[in-house]
Amino acid sequence: MKNHFISCTLGILSFFFIPYFFIIPLNGIDTLMINQKFNVERILPVVTATQIDKNMKLETIKAQTIIARSDYYRRLEEKESLLDILKELRRDLEKKSFSEWILDEKYERAVEETRGEVLVRNYKLELLPYHQLSAGRTRNGKEVLHSDKYKYLKSVKCDSDKEADDYLSSFYISQVDLPKNLIIKKRDSAGYVTEIRADDIVLEGETFSRELGLASSNFSIKRSKNNICFLCKGKGHGLGFSQYGGDQLAKNKKTAEEILTTYFADMQIVNVREIK
């Protein structure tokens, strides 16, 4: 299986970098779909590989694969063009060095063992955010995204995440490169900064942390003589699926379905044919 997967991976790379991006500008997406039917199952091993580390357990990778497949169909359902989806994937691929594309066969197994499976709520595809490591509790979707539409993203306690080696991280930035006055104004119920005042401007916490390159927006601020230290908890935005927490469940013999229903309790796994 491994040799097949390596050749399949190289084929997928040429699939993206050569034929499709010449055909589409000349003939349009309709001609592309007529001449060569797009098969999402074929590219899912590579898609998932851009999203989750190969050292995770197979059941964790299967959970991420179901999320990736669900996201693909949701985006198509929301009338996003296939061309835009392919372009985004190509950008993700270009961030990887060529040596990283000798992939672990777990990615292909994850696709084969979850073929066609998507995560839905009342047979409707929904946004399924994921992150590397929570700050000990995932965030409440309604609270973070300010809409009842996302109330299915419930806050989940993740004590195991606090045991991760990189749960805490420090970032030191020179005071001269930052506003003179930085004051945390508001946090959400999971401890993530939602508002921070920078001199006379109030900034959104997630945007602020991303622009500074912090590990997460769950941070505290400590000043020293010349620097400001941002002490962060977790990695990523903290919403939805915690990959590290999911992997701890997998190590405790939980299946991909059990992992996903831990983080998305109001959702169910079905075959995509059931919602088409």
Structure confidence at residue 59 (pLDDT)? 98
Please state which of the ranges 48-57, 73-82, 86-95, 131-140 shows the lowest mean pLDDT: 86-95
Residues 90-100, mean pLDDT to the nearest whole number: 70
Residues 4-14, mean pLDDT to the nearest whole number: 47
Residues 248-271, mean pLDDT to the nearest whole number: 98
Tokens of 114: 């979850």
d(Cα 87, Cα 78) in Å, to the nearest integer? Answer: 17
Residues 218-229, mean pLDDT to the nearest whole number: 93
pLDDT in tens, 112-144: 999 999 999 999 999 999 999 999 999 999 999
Structure confidence at residue 35 (pLDDT)? 43
Structure confidence at residue 104 (pLDDT)? 84
Share of the chain above pLDDT 70, in %: 84
> Does position 213 have pLDDT exceeding 90, yes or no?
yes
Residues 140-159, mean pLDDT to the nearest whole number: 97
> Does position 32 have pLDDT exceeding 80, yes or no?
no
Residues 212-216, mean pLDDT to the nearest whole number: 97
pLDDT band at 99; cut points 50, 70, 90: low
- Residue spans of alpha helices (H) in 189-228: 205-212
> Does position 1 have pLDDT exceeding 50, yes or no?
no
Average pLDDT, the chain: 87
Structure confidence at residue 75 (pLDDT)? 95
Structure confidence at residue 19 (pLDDT)? 41
Of 209, 56, 238, 207, the closest CA to residue 129 belongs to 238
